[in-house]
Homo-oligomer: A and B are copies of this chain.
Amino acid sequence: MESYTRTARTTPTRYRERARYDRETVHGILDEALTCHVGYVNGGRQVVLPTLHARLGEILYLHGSTGSGPMLTVAGSPDGLPVCVTVTLVDGVVLARSAMHHSLEYRSVVAMGNARLVTDPDEKLRALAAVVDHVAPGRSADSRPPNARELAATAVLALDLVEVSAKVRTGGPVDDADDLALPYWAGVIPLTVHAGTPVPADDLDPSVPLPSYVSDYRRA
């Protein structure tokens, strides 16, 4: 797979060696992260909202309701809504001997462009199924599909993955040579998203079995 083309806007001003443009890295981060943060301008002021997303090939779908801010704004934007979608996974806390070398292990993606409102009914159904499957793989086929009323109340934005970059920081602390003998612990505390014991709904029929995608739930 060809990499994304680096542009001025997707070139970090700092730590350029952490930038990645290969699709495998970008797709992996987008697919693993449960939520994204969507930035857009509304009435001259920027807004950043968390939402659910899903990737199908080179399209990133963003979930919303027809009454939500981005959806109301895109309705008045014939060329689509300019957005910046950012996804961040934190993999660890990096403790260095020096306060200023503290850092995180992380993987992030920034995708920019004009998002369009999905109006084609088939694409909308596909996108919403992808969002549900992004939350729990296989779940869209194991739940009641949307009806017409629900579809009308739900909106989906689509952003073509064109101007996209990832940033990845791995590994332990990088301390100055003069600091190595200081008596401070240094290293990494790994962080993962842990799925606990599933909690059935109060009104769940106890004869309904626990699916493996619930009992074995994991993000990575």
Of the residues B96, B136, B146, B201, contact of A100 by C-beta under 8 Å: B146
CB of A162 within 8 Å of the partner chain:
no
When distances are taken between beta carbons in the complex, the residues of chain B under 8 Å from A144 are 97-99, 179, 182, 184
Query: Which residue from chain B places its CB closest to the CB of A207 in the assembled complex?
Result: B183
A37–B99 touching, CB < 8 Å: no
Docked complex Cα distance between A38 and B86 (Å): 10
Docked complex Cα distance between A35 and B109 (Å): 14
Docked complex Cα distance between A182 and B207 (Å): 11
CB of A46 within 8 Å of the partner chain:
yes
When distances are taken between beta carbons in the complex, the residues of chain B under 8 Å from A72 are 13
Q: How many copies does the complex hold?
A: 2
Of the residues B86, B151, B194, contact of A49 by C-beta under 8 Å: B86
B194–A93 touching, CB < 8 Å: no
Of the residues B65, B90, B132, B204, contact of A14 by C-beta under 8 Å: B65
B9–A50 touching, CB < 8 Å: no
A189 and B172 contact, Cβ closer than 8 Å, known pairs A13-B72, A48-B110, A142-B184:
no
A35–B194 touching, CB < 8 Å: no
**Residues of A at under 8 Å CB distance from B?**
9, 13-14, 34-35, 37-41, 45-50, 52, 65, 67-69, 72, 82-86, 88, 90, 93, 95-100, 102, 104, 106, 108, 110, 112, 128-129, 132, 135-136, 139-140, 142-146, 150-151, 153-154, 172-173, 175, 179-205, 208-211, 214, 217
